[in-house]
Amino acid sequence: MTKEEKPRNPPKKRSRKKKLLVWLAVDMTVAAVVIGLLVHAPSSYRPSPIDPAAYEPGQVHPYLTRLSSDFYNGAQMQDPFDFVVDQDRLNQAIADWFEQANDVSLYCPVVVFEDGMAVFMATADVKGFEFIVTIAVEPRIDAQGMMSLHVSKVKVGSMALTPIARFIAGQMYEQRVAEGVVDAEQWRAKLAAGLLGAEAFDPVIKAEDKKVRVQAVSADRGKLVVRFAPTR
């Protein structure tokens, strides 16, 4: 080696740039995959169009009124009866449902009854970013007649968040119970306990002076069938 020759060092700056470009490409790919999962719409998510001629604004949809009447009349008869909910007619009745809390809006709901589960889907809007939320609930009744609502699936787009959602929901329910906000004797509170707190509850519903108990629940082929029997 002559005095004029110098040892060649590896091009560190160029190597660092290559690494940065590689990591940038990886980050962009991961971000694209996550965004793709979040914005994915399930094939079964087909909201019913809103029919303004079906009923007057501010009024209860006729099908919901009919369901309420069917339950009340069945309970007053004090004989076992089947309470049947049709998936398509229910989706038509709730097509204009809208809920907002803070910066989150939920709308365009869809309910699907299949494989023993009631699957609820809706569009969520968070500061202009839209994605589909899916929650699948499987009603169960044990040998003692106690009912539980097993949340089998929670998804945002096609991204599964079931364990995280269960944990957060459980924490929220426990906090509300500790604050005395929840009345455990109300039917809505029992449903909340089953969904959020994963608690089994006694499925007795009161219709004025009569009481009925849920004996069985089936959800399949677009129908929800709840078997009620009189109780004291």
Task: Determine, yes or no, domain membership for 219.
Answer: yes
Number of domains in the chain: 1
CA distances for 70 relative to 67, 80, 95, 228, angstroms: 5, 13, 21, 12
Task: Determine, yes or no, domain membership for 45.
Answer: yes
Residues of the chain with pLDDT under 70: 1-14, 17-19, 21-40, 158, 160-198
pLDDT the model gives residue 195: 63
pLDDT the model gives residue 144: 92
Task: Determine, yes or no, domain membership for 162.
Answer: yes
pLDDT the model gives residue 157: 74
pTM of the model: 0.73
**148: phi then psi, degrees, rounded to nearest 5:** -135, 155
Contact residues for 172 (Cβ-Cβ < 8 A; gap 6+): 196
pLDDT the model gives residue 75: 95
Task: Determine, yes or no, domain membership for 222.
Answer: yes
Residue the block writes with tokens 């998510």: 45
pLDDT the model gives residue 190: 62
Task: Determine, yes or no, domain membership for 26.
Answer: no
pLDDT the model gives residue 53: 73
Task: Determine, yes or no, domain membership for 29.
Answer: no
CA distances for 46 relative to 71, 105, 107, 226, angstroms: 28, 18, 12, 25
Residue 190 structural domain: 36-231
pLDDT the model gives residue 161: 67
- Are β-strands 223-231 and 81-86 bridged in parallel, bridged antiparallel, or unpaired? antiparallel
pLDDT the model gives residue 24: 65
Task: Determine, yes or no, domain membership for 72.
Answer: yes
Residue the block writes with tokens 């809007």: 125
pLDDT the model gives residue 47: 92
Task: Determine, yes or no, domain membership for 190.
Answer: yes
